[in-house]
Amino acid sequence: MTAETMSDGDGYSRELWLNAVAAALGLTYSAYRQLRAARTLPPGPWGVPFLGYAPFLSNHCTYLKYNELARRYGPICSFTQRGNTVILLSDHKLIKTAFDMKQITGRPNDGYMDIIGGYGAVNSTGKLWESQRKFLHLVLRHMGMTFTGHNRLNMENRIMIEVSTLTETFHKTCGKPIDLNAGSLCLAITNVISSLTMSVRFEPNDPRFERYMHMVDEGFKLFGMLRPVSLFLPRRHITDERNIQEKIKNNHQEIAKYFQSIIEEHRSTFDPNSIRDLVDAYLLEIKRSQEAGTMDQLFQGLDPNRQVQQILGDLFSAGMETIKNTILWAMVYMLHYPDVMTKVQDEIDSVVGQYKSPVLDDYPNLPYTQATLYEVLRKSSITPLGTTHATTSDVTLNGYHIPTGAQIIPLQHFVHNDPNLWDEPEAFKPERFINAEGKVKKPDCFLPFGVGRRKCLGETLAQMELYLFFSTLLHEFDVCLPDGDELPSMDGQVGITLTPQSFKVVMKARNK
């Protein structure tokens, strides 16, 4: 052995030794932090150093694993995951208490947050989120997102244009099996939100629509992949994570470019006395702020173009998949429970009449139809884990100390299936939402739109759309299973929302 190889060997063993010491120190510190936190945090499972509980969570159906933890540890439970504290809430009263607290209105600071840079409404926090929520509420209400005001007729007309186009398309299918998840339903729902926000209505086979949907769809899939990958530390996954993040970023930039072209088009034809849509409402806000010299305060000094782009993206992603999937689930349940479908149709026929289409004014007089939609929302629980919140400062919840930056997850699917709250939760029973006087009741443990300060901003719009699409479809068609097909599964596919597995229906025109 030469002196040179001897010294190489010495260097190597010194490096190994140093690594071992660093690892031991790291493990001790991680165990110390876990022990110290365990004294004040809610009960929960132990994890392994550094990774916490992450290795025990499967990439698939995380919500079912969380439900299991809730059953084992009770209404508030915690674990760590890659150094982050995660709190699971499975009691609806506790979820309400937590989500009413200002300190729990944050959003997790994850990889996606880096990409969107804190812009928008769904993932923004603090003053920007507060001001945007207020502004959007105001504008959307003005545009007709209300069941009571006069402006509701504008929103109703906007939605009914899309409902009528959809039913016309279904009539043309002449009883042939159709895949509802592909094409016309998606186009109709996209057109409601895109006409409202940017006065764009796509035609079938419009390449812009196809490209746009492709990017959104891919974005959802990639986003779904990003979170599970980032749970696991091994180095090979870090590269995967970077690749996914890079793809999301490119995708996000392409969509942003499309939105920017829409903003520019609006700028060139902008008339402050005639506000056409949400983009115009933002342009007016920007104009007023420029004139008042307060641009440094508007959007907390952030880039106005990026803010408008992100708002368009937010409303689209929050308001399209959710509605589409709820209608798809409604169709799945109608196939499984044709007696419910008949009861809805009978109610509409007797209240609205056979030859007139249901309108918003009929809504309060159609309790069974409304209750059926509630039962669809409960049973499908398309957002089984709601949307994750984060603490913006240390907070005490149910006697436990929750640190700043902790992720708070409401177990909506658990609450909607809790046998202590619902009689036979696995059954599909719209009657559970109807009281002794035959009126619709909405129990506190029914939270498809979330609760508290960040509850769904588009809830009223969602209810208007769900009602108008669902009631018109059932009024005009029997939803039937194609000959020889099996009933679709009632287990959802996990993505950003729970989606029914692919299925076909025959929309058979009713003999009226």
Q: From the annotation, which residues make up the binding site for heme?
A: 456
Q: How many CB atoms lie within 10 A of CB 247?
A: 16
Q: Is residue 143 at the binding interface for ligand HEM, with CB under 6 A as the rule?
A: no
Binding mask 223-262 for ligand HEM (x = CB under 6 A): ----------------------------------------
Q: Which stretch binds ligand HEM (CB under 6 A): 61-69, 256-264, 424-432, 444-452?
A: 444-452
Q: Which stretch binds ligand HEM (CB under 6 A): 74-82, 291-299, 338-346, 450-458?
A: 450-458
Give the integer Cα–Cα distance in Å for 153 and 158: 8
Q: Is residue 313 at the binding interface for ligand HEM, with CB under 6 A as the rule?
A: no
**What number of CA atoms fall less than 13 Å from residue 2's CA on the CB side?**
3
Q: Is residue 144 at the binding interface for ligand HEM, with CB under 6 A as the rule?
A: no
Give the integer Cα–Cα distance in Å for 95 and 323: 24
User: For 81, left (φ over 0), alpha (ψ -120 to 50), or beta?
Assistant: beta
Q: Could you say which of 82, 133, 141, 142 contacts ligand HEM (CB under 6 A)?
A: 133
3 state DSSP class of 246: helix
Shorter beta-carbon distance to ligand HEM: residue 30 or 383: 383
Amino acid (one-letter) located at 211: R
Residue nearest to ligand HEM (CB): 458
Q: Is residue 277 at the binding interface for ligand HEM, with CB under 6 A as the rule?
A: no
Q: Could you say which of 241, 277, 314, 347 contacts ligand HEM (CB under 6 A)?
A: 314
Q: Which residues are annotated as a binding site?
A: 456
Q: Is residue 282 at the binding interface for ligand HEM, with CB under 6 A as the rule?
A: no
Give the integer Cα–Cα distance in Å for 6 and 403: 51
Q: Is residue 281 at the binding interface for ligand HEM, with CB under 6 A as the rule?
A: no
Give the integer Cα–Cα distance in Å for 497 and 385: 9
Asked if 341 and 296 touch (Cβ cutoff 8 Å), the reply is no
Binding mask 370-399 for ligand HEM (x = CB under 6 A): ------------xx--xx------------
Q: Could you say which of 86, 98, 121, 283 contacts ligand HEM (CB under 6 A)?
A: 121
3 state DSSP class of 130: helix
Sign of CA dihedral 333, 61, 389, 432: positive
Shorter beta-carbon distance to ligand HEM: residue 80 or 326: 326
Give the integer Cα–Cα distance in Å for 360 and 143: 15
Q: Can you spell out the DSSP letters for 286-326? A: HHHHHHHT-TTTGGGG--HHHHHHHHHHHHHHHHSHHHHHH
Shorter beta-carbon distance to ligand HEM: residue 132 or 184: 132
Give the integer Cα–Cα distance in Å for 357 and 468: 9
Q: Which stretch binds ligand HEM (CB under 6 A): 299-307, 316-324, 328-336, 485-493?
A: 316-324
Q: Is residue 312 at the binding interface for ligand HEM, with CB under 6 A as the rule?
A: no
Asked if 197 and 279 touch (Cβ cutoff 8 Å), the reply is yes
Give the integer Cα–Cα distance in Å for 212 and 258: 9
Q: Could you say which of 144, 304, 358, 450 contacts ligand HEM (CB under 6 A)?
A: 450
Q: Is residue 108 at the binding interface for ligand HEM, with CB under 6 A as the rule?
A: no
> Could you tell me the smallest distance in angstroms from the CB atom of residue 171 to ligand HEM?
26
Give the integer Cα–Cα distance in Å for 316 and 194: 7
Q: What angle do CA 268, 251, 240 make, to 5 degrees?
A: 160
Which tokens belong to 192?
């409601």
Shorter beta-carbon distance to ligand HEM: residue 121 or 360: 121
> Could you tell me the smallest distance in angstroms from the CB atom of residue 425 to ligand HEM?
18
Q: Is residue 41 at the binding interface for ligand HEM, with CB under 6 A as the rule?
A: no
Asked if 383 and 412 touch (Cβ cutoff 8 Å), the reply is yes
Shorter beta-carbon distance to ligand HEM: residue 57 or 373: 373
Element (H, E) at 89: strand 84-89
Shorter beta-carbon distance to ligand HEM: residue 82 or 455: 455
Site for ligand HEM in 87-106 (CB under 6 A): 99
| Binding positions for ligand HEM, rule: CB under 6 A | 99, 121-122, 133, 314-315, 318-319, 322-323, 326, 382-383, 386-387, 448-450, 454-458, 461-462
